[in-house]
Structure 1
């Protein structure tokens, strides 16, 4: 066999190995993380200064990311809550101007960091201590982007977009925190959202370990005091 023929054969073999390795990697990752279209759609409609919203976001919603639940969950946070929009597009928030400000900042964070884990960490930081929100901006390095968004027209456009999403809910939301799973409201079952996400998943990826864990039965949220729209 000539050296050129040997080299060509070796090159072809190497290409096959690379192809097989990529195929194995793709197949493995497909088993670990659900495709975007397969994921359970979990939306949380909330407002910043609502005590129950804060409690839920800080202490319970993080289960999506602190466990492997995120592999089958598409979590969307919608910061508008029980606010109102007047005819001239002025937004009035249930807990006053400070709430409107923090809702806008969190809307800017979602826009700045589209990655769900990243903007959740920022929002959790803000809701842990709303008086120290500036330290959260510095901690996550979003000073300029967040500032430009908040002080420009983008923050208002984002909030009006979230207003439209919230006010278009069918059935309409009656209080916050309000959670929907694949578009359907959970009502008071928000306390059992982890179990419901597990049961709603029908994709090809393996169920998260959390869904088969004995710890699941211990993860219910204590009864929340909801903040009603009217």
Structure 2
């Protein structure tokens, strides 16, 4: 067999191996439980959930089976001329847009979650969060340009097209199905919903799941008065 023929076969098998490996990575991603959180900034219950509870995904190995998507729009409204009015006023609209820009700037779920958690921990000090994570130019360019509005309108479309419609925030769906008041059980529900081939995270076997108390949230409802 010529060296040229051997080299060709080697390249073929190497490419086949790479394709198979890449396919497995994609398949693994598709096996993850899809967890979407629809929320708005300045909503006390959303802040509580994001700051004190949602971090379980990244503070443990739960992230290995969870595909988390954050959708910052909540109970806002979009007028016919595409003007967005937020439930907690202009400050909420600004922070929703900044967080949308952060998601765009840092596609990695862990990174943009950390930024959003920082903002929602103290919304008056959001500028320090921008400086802390080193995304000043990208986020400022996004927020001050047309991109932030495009992102928010995209999140508006995702939120307003929910079936069934969301009734309040925080609103969470698991593989497209709303959790309603069971949002506090999201860890347990993710563990039960996972059907992939990878081993379940250790958190799924934790005694904490059976010992925890139900998370109580005072939801912000869609039909509550809008603050102008």
Normalised by the length of structure 2, the TM-score is 0.86
| 1:76/1:116 contact within 8 Å kept | yes
Distance verdict in 2 for CA 1:221–1:147, change over 3 Å? farther
Q: Which residue, 157, 172, 184 being the options, matches 1:191?
A: 184
Matches within 5 A, 1:99-138: 99-138=92-131
Q: 2:163 matched to 1:170?
A: yes
Q: 2:179 matched to 1:179?
A: no
Q: Which residue, 65, 85, 109 being the options, matches 2:58?
A: 65
Cα deviation per residue 1:86-143 (whole Å; 9 max; x = unaligned)?
0000000000000000000000000000000000000000000000000000000000
Separation in structure 2 between the aligned mates of residue 166 and residue 187 of structure 1, nearest angstrom: 15
What is the total number of aligned residue pairs between the two structures? 207
Residue 72 of structure 1 and its aligned partner are, at CA, apart by: 0.2
Separation in structure 2 between the aligned mates of residue 200 and residue 156 of structure 1, nearest angstrom: 35
Separation in structure 2 between the aligned mates of residue 221 and residue 44 of structure 1, nearest angstrom: 18
Secondary structure of residue in 2 paired with 1:36: helix
Residue 47 of structure 1 and its aligned partner are, at CA, apart by: 0.2
Q: Which residue, 59, 68, 71 being the options, matches 1:75?
A: 68
Give the corresponding residue for 2:3: none
Separation in structure 2 between the aligned mates of residue 158 and residue 141 of structure 1, nearest angstrom: 21
> Which runs of at least 4 in structure 1 moved beyond 3 Å after TM superposition?
218-221
Cα deviation per residue 1:161-205 (whole Å; 9 max; x = unaligned)?
000000000000000000000000000000100000000000010
Distance verdict in 2 for CA 1:220–1:196, change over 3 Å? farther
Residue 222 of structure 1 and its aligned partner are, at CA, apart by: 2.4
Secondary structure of residue in 1 paired with 2:30: coil
| 1:72/1:201 contact within 8 Å kept | yes
Question: What is the aligned-residue RMSD (CA, Å)?
Answer: 2.1
Gaps of 5+ in 1: 1-14
Separation in structure 2 between the aligned mates of residue 220 and residue 167 of structure 1, nearest angstrom: 32
| 1:46/1:177 contact within 8 Å kept | yes
Give the corresponding residue for 2:49: 56
Q: 2:89 matched to 1:96?
A: yes
Separation in structure 2 between the aligned mates of residue 215 and residue 188 of structure 1, nearest angstrom: 20
